[in-house]
Amino acid sequence: MTYEAMSLDVQHLLSQLHISKCILIGHSMGGKTAMTLALQRAFSYWVWIGPWALLLCLKKAETDLVERLVSVDISPTPTGPVTSFPAYISAMKSMSLPRGIPRSTARRLAEDQLRSVVQVPAVRQFLLTNLVEVEGHYMWRLNLEAISHHLPDIMTFPAFQSYYPGPTLFLRGSKSPYVSDKDFSEIERLFPKAKIQCIAGADHWVHADRPQEFIAAICNFLLLP
């Protein structure tokens, strides 16, 4: 469960759907996956230094697939210091529910068990959408073992020497710590045409906290030449 693997999943899906050009919009982990895909299909170069020569080779840019890119409240930098994601996964793995209870009761008990760790009600409700019943037993539809095993990969970002030359928008929430001013230099290195926009009053869930402002920012970006 690395960003490189998830990027390939998206590319395979686009191929199956016969989509040859797209605008990618990704939030949080989805944003890192979208950035990885754009960077994998963009300019890169390598240098060979021999006894008599310096050779510089440029790979052909393949920006036709990703026409534009929007990253929502995430940057191409490690996020471990600012996220509670590992604690959420641990709380979900330790949840225990009795068999044969109504779904409404299961959701209530699950929420009670998550409450001390996942303190934001909207985030708890989002996590609970992944609670499913299988033959009277309640479980998470997510592969928590795979997520736990790859937490170091999820909390960081792949190393790239290439850059994505297409139009890029980074939308950040004013109340969120996920994109900070110190990330700007890495954003500009990998995405030289990036615009960074802050949505006032939004936390990490920008699209849920300020939906009107979020949609307006996306539409304005898509209208740019």
Catalytic annotation, residues: 28, 145, 204
Bridge-based pairing of strands 54-58 and 45-49 is antiparallel
Class of residue 170 by CB neighbours under 10 A (exposed 0-12, middle 13-18, buried 19+): buried
Half-sphere exposure of 212 (CA within 13 A, CB side): 2
From CA 130, how far away is CA 91, in angstroms rounded?
14
Q: Where do runs of H (alpha helix) occur along 132-205?
A: 144-149, 151-154, 184-190
Beta carbons of 39 and 164 less than 8 angstroms apart: yes
From CA 1, how far away is CA 181, in angstroms rounded?
28
The values of phi and psi at residue 170, to 5°, are: -105, 115
